[in-house]
């Protein structure tokens, strides 16, 4: 029963259309209806980038799954930071949502940069006494206008097939109190 509820909760992550509109809808749900809960704080995602690779949507800037093969909705750590993993078993498509900036709701403080976000979200848990408790939870936030732009910091592999031109970066400017 619990697994069924978890799957319904994550259904909005299923990539089918592989286009800008689909990624924007997912970004809106993450920005407005979800937060990241850690062992000591609550974070709002305020800047994310989508990476998606499949037979019909080539994006060579998407990390291949050489060492681990995360399922849809799992955390995927890589050289640039941390993603919410994306996978479509039917099409063989895979990718992730890179977390670029977060707002600590408790501190009313913004943390920028993918590696900074990964450190902030996953550090501070005792390695001998606790398991990692970082998870995405339902949480209602105000609706802010979303800004769409091109992804940043891409290497030459993204230029090979024009993936550097995808506007798969979504963000907004939160109002700090």
| Residue corresponding to tokens 């992550």 | 13
Domain total in the chain:
1
Specify the pTM: 0.92
Q: How far is CA 36 from CA 42, 70, 84, 149, in A?
A: 6, 19, 11, 23
Mean pLDDT, rounded, for 125-135:
86
| 77-110 confidence digits (pLDDT tens) | 999 999 999 999 888 999 999 999 999 999 999 9
Residue 52 lies in a domain: yes
Residue 103 lies in a domain: yes
Residue 177 lies in a domain: no
Q: How far is CA 60 from CA 21, 94, 130, 164, in A?
A: 21, 12, 37, 10
Question: What is the C-alpha radius of gyration for the chain, rounded to an integer number of angstroms?
Answer: 16
Residue 136 lies in a domain: yes
In whole angstroms, give the CA distance from residue 66 to residue 79. 13
Mean pLDDT, rounded, for 120-132:
87
Residue 176 lies in a domain: no
User: Which structural domain range is residue 118 located in?
Assistant: 2-171
| 176, pLDDT greater than 80 | no
Q: How far is CA 111 from CA 2, 16, 18, 46, 100, in A?
A: 33, 31, 29, 10, 9
Residue 141 lies in a domain: yes
Residue 152 lies in a domain: yes
| 3, pLDDT greater than 80 | no
| 9, pLDDT greater than 80 | no
| 58-76 confidence digits (pLDDT tens) | 999 998 888 899 999 999 9
């Amino acid at each position: 029963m619990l697994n069924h509820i978890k799957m319904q909760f994550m259904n909005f992550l299923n990539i089918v259309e592989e286009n800008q509109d689909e990624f924007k809808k997912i970004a809106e749900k993450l920005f407005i209806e979800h937060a990241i809960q850690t062992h000591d704080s609550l974070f709002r995602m305020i800047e994310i980038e989508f990476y998606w690779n499949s037979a019909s949507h080539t994006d060579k800037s998407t990390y291949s799954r050489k060492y681990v093969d995360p399922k849809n909705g799992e955390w995927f750590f890589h050289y640039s930071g941390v993603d919410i993993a994306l996978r479509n078993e039917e099409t063989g498509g895979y990718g992730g949502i890179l977390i670029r900036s977060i707002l600590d709701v408790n501190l009313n403080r913004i943390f920028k940069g993918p590696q900074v976000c990964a450190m902030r979200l996953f550090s501070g848990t005792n390695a001998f006494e606790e398991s990692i408790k970082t998870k995405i939870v339902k949480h209602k936030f105000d609706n802010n206008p979303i800004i769409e732009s091109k992804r940043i910091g891409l290497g030459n592999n993204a230029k090979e097939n024009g993936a550097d031109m995808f506007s798969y970066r979504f963000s907004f400017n939160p109002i700090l109190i």
